[in-house]
Amino acid sequence: MKSYVIVGLGGRSTMFVDALCNRYRQIAELVAICDSNYGRLQLAAEKIRKYWPNVATYISSDFDKMISEYKPDSVIVCTRDKEHSDYICRSLDFGCDVITEKPMTIDHKKCQQIVDTVKRTGKSVRVTFNYRYSPPRTQMKQLLMSGIIGDVLSINFQWNLDTNHGADYFRRWHRFKENSGGLMVHKATHHFDLMNWWLGSVPETVFARGGRLFYNEKQAAKYGLAEHGTRCLNCPVASKCNFYLDMNAFDAIKSLYLDNENYDQYHRDRCVFGNDSNHSQKIL
């Protein structure tokens, strides 16, 4: 039986927790969990201990201690994107394989650091590009490999992100490029991966440009929301904002974030129109 630890216990970690506690419980053991927020750490532990009673808890500053004491086969990284490279490389140096949420990291320097550490340690890093496993994308791969359409000479790939799902990137920590690399890293890595996978090749050069054309103060004024607050909670114009997020209405969001704000002052419901965001919403 292989042993696993998870670092980062936000919403994205739940799919790994569920898999280790249920479907793969006979072949995989979740031995420890780690997070920077003490409240989320205890919330996750309460759920996991119904399946793994002895799972250990560590605050993020004790990550190395956790790895040293439990020596897991693999570390699952679900932290903020900017922190991926640090946890990946530290895990590799401890002799662990790594499964990480995408993107693997947010810039070239950190990417090269991971590649160099993999070569030096001989351990592996797997990035969870889940779109490869969705039936339509898998069928596309099969059709291309069959040669039924002949040689592929060019690709025009467009992904239209609606304002339901898309708005959330401007509420969360993703709104800052220093955390996520922007949508051209956090979101578009899916799209580059699909194209690379479908064609079995990688581009020689990459060029990108973008801008924030919708989620800005100009649009807020257009919708009569110029007096918006910094977050949805207690926002003076919440009643007329189509982007208002009531965290109390969603049990998962409330328990993970709203109930634990006192530990790290992280606000999951930042205003999508706030001028402090440096995210690119339109990418070419």
- 27 pLDDT band, cuts 50/70/90, is very high
26 bridge partner residues: none
* pLDDT digits 0-9 by tens, 144-194: 999 999 999 988 998 888 888 899 999 999 999 999 999 889 999 999 999
Return the pLDDT at 165: 87
**Which CATH number belongs to the domain containing residue 50 in this structure?**
3.40.50.720
Return the pLDDT at 281: 59
* pLDDT digits 0-9 by tens, 252-261: 999 999 999 9
Are 150 and 277 in a shared domain? yes
Share of the chain above pLDDT 70, in %: 98
Are 66 and 144 in a shared domain? no
Select from 124, 22, 120, 40 the least CA-distant residue to 78.
40
Cα 126 to chain centroid, rounded = 14
Those residues whose C-beta lies under 8 Å from the C-beta of residue 104, and which sit 6 or more positions away, are 84, 85, 88, 111, 114, 125, 127
pLDDT at 241 over 60: yes
Return the pLDDT at 184: 87
Better-scored residue on pLDDT, 283 or 56: 56
Q: Cα–Cα distances in Å, from 62 out to 5, 16, 57, 125, 260?
A: 13, 21, 10, 22, 20
pLDDT at 107 over 60: yes
Q: How far apart are CA 240 and CA 235, in angstroms?
A: 10
Are 16 and 115 in a shared domain? yes
Tell me what percent of the chain is helix, strand and coil, each rounded to the nearest 5.
45, 15, 40
pLDDT at 207 over 70: yes
pLDDT at 139 over 60: yes
Last residue within a domain, chosen from 96, 128, 160: 128
Q: What is the DSSP letter of 237?
A: T
Are 247 and 187 in a shared domain? yes
| pTM strictly above 0.85 | yes
Return the pLDDT at 279: 63
Domain hosting residue 277, numbered range: 137-283
Are 184 and 159 in a shared domain? yes
Are 121 and 17 in a shared domain? yes
* pLDDT digits 0-9 by tens, 257-273: 999 999 999 999 999 99
Return the pLDDT at 272: 96
Q: In whole numbers, what is the pLDDT of the chain averaged over residues?
A: 95
Tell me the HSE value of 99 on the side-chain side, using a 13 A CA sphere.
Answer: 16
Last residue within a domain, chosen from 76, 105, 128: 128
Last residue within a domain, chosen from 92, 111, 128: 128
Are 124 and 175 in a shared domain? no
Are 141 and 122 in a shared domain? no
Are 110 and 152 in a shared domain? no
- Asked if residues 209 and 283 have their Cβ atoms less than 8 Å apart, the reply is yes
Are 46 and 88 in a shared domain? yes
Those residues whose C-beta lies under 8 Å from the C-beta of residue 221, and which sit 6 or more positions away, are none
Domain count, the chain: 2
Are 234 and 110 in a shared domain? no
- 206 pLDDT band, cuts 50/70/90, is confident
DSSP code per residue over 241-273: -TT---GGG-HHHHHHTGGGHHHH---TTB-TT
Q: What is the DSSP letter of 125?
A: E
Return the pLDDT at 210: 82
Return the pLDDT at 282: 58
Are 273 and 196 in a shared domain? yes
pLDDT at 280 over 70: no
